[in-house]
Amino acid sequence: MSLVLESPPIRPLPAEDEALRAEIKAFIAETLDGVQASARARSWMGFDAEFSRKLGERGWIGLTLPKEYGGSERGAFARFVLSEELLASGAPVAAHWIADRQSGPLILRFGTETQRQFYIPRICRGEAFFCIGMSEPNSGSDLASVRTTAAQNADGWRLNGSKIWTTNGHRSHYMIALVRTSGTPADRNAGLSQFIVDLQAPGVTRRPIMDLAGDAHFSEIHFDDVQLGPDTLVGEEGAGWEQVNAELAFERSGPERIYSSMALTDAWIAWLQARGDVTESETLLVGQLSARLAVLRSMSLALTERLSRHESPVIEAALLKDLGTSYEQSIPALVGEMVAATVDADVPADLLATLDYVTAISPSYSLRGGTREILRGIIARGLGLR
């Protein structure tokens, strides 16, 4: 309980980490010059392999990973600065995002030496893109019920089943899949394991799924007798559930759970500033959004500090994700009504397009990475209620 409420003093970030900010800003200003808000609003759903490779060249992928595997061995706060700048500016980071955020750290922590040497340097160069294979057609919130199986054979493992809603599944090189290696779905979280699946392997079929905004960013993937080598198991056989939960703490705690509507917020405020004659209701909404953002950012920093101490604050990560996604999800409704309240104003087309996109896609904020109800269940368990 007291864990949930602990809020360490927030100090300015270490100077050497802050120093990174100017470099990143300069890089973004140059690379994304002229990119419109409606494109920036896609941010970590925006896939641009070339952009990712450029980040890799600068050492900005795998920032916290060890140098011996091609990383930069920087701390968690340096990574916070980098993520924050990329997300706040709406940089198209989707291609490497998952590899950088969770697959790389997962392989480092649980992988074999061979796996580390093979995958991590490629991740850091922006050459190996990963996706997360957790959800299946019949297993969403109830993740422990996955039915995809890997059966051990003479050559390693044989994979059968399917995954769905896999972000970037059709344009990634590898998937880290959570599958059953023993028992049945009735055994729940026992008997699950994680594998690195080469998505070019024979027997893998991938089909992009169009989302409601007209983008094809996630996909459906089938495994039909896919032969996996012996060194594709990550960590221990049967320890998949614990590993996935450690991974989810990383997935849930970052600034991407707060900043998804930032392109819209800033496009709107820039318009108010250019237009002038800002009404009191507009000013108040600007103020409310700023105050809430200041608090969420400080919470995200506090959580980053916990992760940097190699803790796995599962409950706090769930708590922040729910607060953060509620915040970013509220923005299109609030800003939309405010924009439309000025009926005679000449609203820029790009602001309207951004509003359209964010309004349409925002329900996904509280689904991806675990739904609101599931997160609240995790918090309730932390409170001793379950």
Partner 1 sequence: MDDMLSEQFDRLLTGLGPIEQTDTLDTGPKSEAWRAIAESGFLDALTPEEHGGAGVPFSEIFPLAVALGRRLTPAPVIETMIARAILARAGHEPPEGSIALGDTGETAAWRLRDLGGRLALEPAAGGADTEFAWNGSPLRNLAVATLAARMAGAVEAVLTMTIDYALIRKQFGREIGKFQAVQQQLAVMAEEVAAASAAARLAFVDDFTALPSGLAAAAKLRTGEAALLVATTAHALHGAIGISKEHTLQLFTRRLHRWRLAEGSGPYWGLLIGRERLAYPGGSVDFVRTLADAR
Ligand X SMILES: Cc1cc2nc3c(=O)[nH]c(=O)nc-3n(C[C@H](O)[C@H](O)[C@H](O)COP(=O)(O)OP(=O)(O)OC[C@H]3O[C@@H](n4cnc5c(N)ncnc54)[C@H](O)[C@@H]3O)c2cc1C
Q: Which residues are at the interface with ligand X (CB under 6 A)?
A: 131-135, 140-141, 165-167, 218, 364, 367-368, 370-371, 373-374
Give min distance, CB of 114 to ligand X, in A.
26
d(CA 79, CA 16): 12
200 binds partner 1 (CB under 8 A): no
Asked if 272 touches partner 1 (CB under 8 A), the answer is yes
- Per DSSP, helices labelled H in the chain are 2-5, 15-31, 37-40, 49-57, 76-88, 94-98, 104-110, 113-125, 240-253, 262-275, 280-308, 314-341, 349-361, 372-382
Kindly compute the dihedral angle of the four CA atoms of residues 260, 300, 97, 212, in this order, to the nearest 10 degrees. -20
Helical H runs in 9-166?
15-31, 37-40, 49-57, 76-88, 94-98, 104-110, 113-125
| Closer residue to partner 1, CB minimum distance, 78 or 302 | 302
User: Residue 327 corresponds to which amino acid?
Assistant: Y
**Contact set for partner 1, span 305-364 (CB under 8 A):** 316, 319-320, 322-323
Contacted by 290, from partner 1, ligand X, none: CB < 5 to 8 Å by type: partner 1
Q: Which is nearer to ligand X, 166 or 181 (CB)?
A: 166
Assess 127 for contact with partner 1 (CB under 8 A).
Answer: no
Residue of this chain nearest to ligand X (CB atom): 140
In whole angstroms, what is the distance from residue 140 CA to residue 157 CA? Answer: 24
Q: Which of residues 6-25 bind partner 1 (CB under 8 A)?
A: 7, 9-12
Looking at the DSSP assignment, which residues form a beta bridge with residue 379? Answer: none
- The correct pick among 212, 294, 333, 341 for binding partner 1 (CB under 8 A) is 294
* Least distance CB 211 / ligand X (angstroms): 7
Q: Report angle CA 361, 367, 373 to the nearest 5 degrees.
A: 140
- Minimum CB distance to ligand X, residue 49 (Å): 17
Using the minimum distance from each CB to ligand X, give the nearer residue, 70 or 161.
161
Q: Which is nearer to ligand X, 349 or 380 (CB)?
A: 380
Spatial contact of 255 and 87, defined as CB atoms under 8 Å apart: yes
293 binds, among partner 1, ligand X, none (CB under 5 to 8 A by kind): partner 1
134 binds, among partner 1, ligand X, none (CB under 5 to 8 A by kind): ligand X
Determine the Cα–Cα distance for residues 231 and 215; give it in Å rounded to an integer.
35
